[in-house]
Structure 1
Amino acid sequence: MPPRKSSAAEVSAPAHQAVARSVNDIKQMITSGDLLPGQQIRQEHIAAVLGVSRLPVREALRQLVADGLVVHRHNVGFAVARLSRSEFDQIYLMRRLLETEVIRSLPRPSARQLADIATLAEEVERAAADVDLPRMRALNSQFHLAVFDLSDLKLVVGEIRRIWTWALPYHSVYLYDEAGRTRILAEHREMVAALRAGDVERLVELMDAHRAGSADRLNLMLEAGAVTHPHAD
């Protein structure tokens, strides 16, 4: 009698935890620039770096394929997903359409919600002052998603989160530009002020400019083929 395959529910808790940790660690390696768009992912190397076996690494990579951060090619293996110019443009088109609808649906935030968002903006500024770019990238995402999460359009916000994930590997690249960081921080402060005033149309305008500035910078890098490791010069 052939051995029975274990169901997902029968997999041990430590195994689940190893996969979850591997997902988070590999995602961090991608978004921080340790693994670059288009780079092949060697399972043996990743397992050694993370101190786990290949099994949780392989399962983590499969999950990241579903998230859009990793691709799998037959007879080649796993690699970090790389956006084409067309795909990149489509991501920003979807962001503009969905984020605009979500922002226009925002209720007036409570004092607690506004304080939490303002605190995130301040933490982004502290990370920028320390030139802690991985932390700045993570906090920048948290700031924007905290604003979107004020909306009752939860399905739409979930889709925005998924779209943001596709572009995460590129976010750490444009943060290396000091002028870009300065612009981002100034626009965050204006967004908090617009939220405080309950001016959603002003917030739409600010988000359009904020998004366009990031898209322009990333477009220049895509055209120049400059999406490389920041320390590789």
Structure 2
Amino acid sequence: MATFARPASRTTAKVLDAVRGAILSGELSPGEQLRQQVWAERCGVSRPPVREALEILSNEGLLIHGLNQGYFVAKFSTEEIEQLYTLRDLLENEAIRTIRWPGPEVLAELSAHVDRIESDALLGRPDLAREAMADFYLSIYRLCDRALIIAEIERLWARTAAYRARNYDILAAPQESKVQFRLILAAVAAQDRERLAELLQRPVTDILARARAAMAPAGG
């Protein structure tokens, strides 16, 4: 599972899951404000659990808290997106380079992640499918035992969660997505580091290319 802080109370956990799901599904867009009363009513809870949940998500990097302004879904400029995905590219490549290849038990766990992605996509739940996708990718990176690098990768994945909903529509071509995840799993099973790097880094490379194109001076 992706590494997220877990609150002490069930009511806070309920709000946390609801808000995170709204971000991962694309219902909440980068820069959009979250009003505490609205989410209290939506989740059927009082405002204190909402505040706790929003603070947790702020610490994860999914939200930004403005003094006397409230909480907003994290929003980045094109240049900042380029920097975030450049960092991801560098760190994820390093993790792939130092992965320790898994045995049958871990391969079965990775296969279960893929099954979950496919099942959630078929149910029309992009939020759950994207969460399962993050679990799958991060589980592969965690095969590298360099704890500081993995912790930073997890942090960057949290910070860019809202942009996954914009850049990758997991329901648009479910069959293509299914093939992609199975190819990644096959590369891990075959211990093919070069192929694995190509498959895992393709989405990052595409987003970086778009960000750099958007920053390029007109006409040159």
Q: 1:122 to 1:201 in 2, by over 3 A?
A: same
- For 1:89 and 1:170, how far apart are their aligned partners in 2? 12
Determine whether 1:72 maps to 2:72: no
Give the counterpart of 1:184 among 168, 177, 180. 177
One-letter identity of the residue aligned with 1:203: L
Determine whether 1:162 maps to 2:155: yes
Partner residue in 1 for 2:34: 41
Q: 1:164 to 1:15 in 2, by over 3 A?
A: closer
- For 1:137 and 1:175, how far apart are their aligned partners in 2? 9
Structure with higher Rg: it is 1
What TM-score do you get using the length of structure 1 for normalisation?
A: 0.78
- For 2:130 and 2:209, how far apart are their aligned partners in 1? 15
What TM-score do you get using the length of structure 2 for normalisation?
A: 0.82
Determine whether 1:57 maps to 2:45: no
* Higher-RCO chain (CA-CA 8 Å, sequence separation at least 6): 2
For residue 72 of structure 2, give the secondary structure of its aligned residue in structure 1.
Answer: strand
Percent identical among aligned pairs is 34
Give the superposition deviation at 1:83: 1.8
Give the superposition deviation at 1:114: 0.9
Partner residue in 2 for 1:175: 169
Give the superposition deviation at 1:20: 3.5
One-letter identity of the residue aligned with 2:70: G
Give the counterpart of 1:107 among 100, 106, 121. 100
- For 1:60 and 1:141, how far apart are their aligned partners in 2? 20
Q: 1:131 to 1:216 in 2, by over 3 A?
A: farther
For residue 71 of structure 2, give the secondary structure of its aligned residue in structure 1.
Answer: strand
1:85-96 paired onto structure 2 within 5 Å = 85-96=78-89
Does structure 2 retain, via aligned residues, the 8 Å contact 1:95–1:160?
yes
For residue 31 of structure 1, give the secondary structure of its aligned residue in structure 2.
Answer: helix
Aligned-residue CA RMSD in angstroms? 2.6
Partner residue in 2 for 1:139: 132
Which consecutive residues of structure 2, in runs of 5 or more, have no partner in the other structure? 1-6, 216-220
Give the superposition deviation at 1:101: 0.9
Does structure 2 retain, via aligned residues, the 8 Å contact 1:71–1:78?
yes
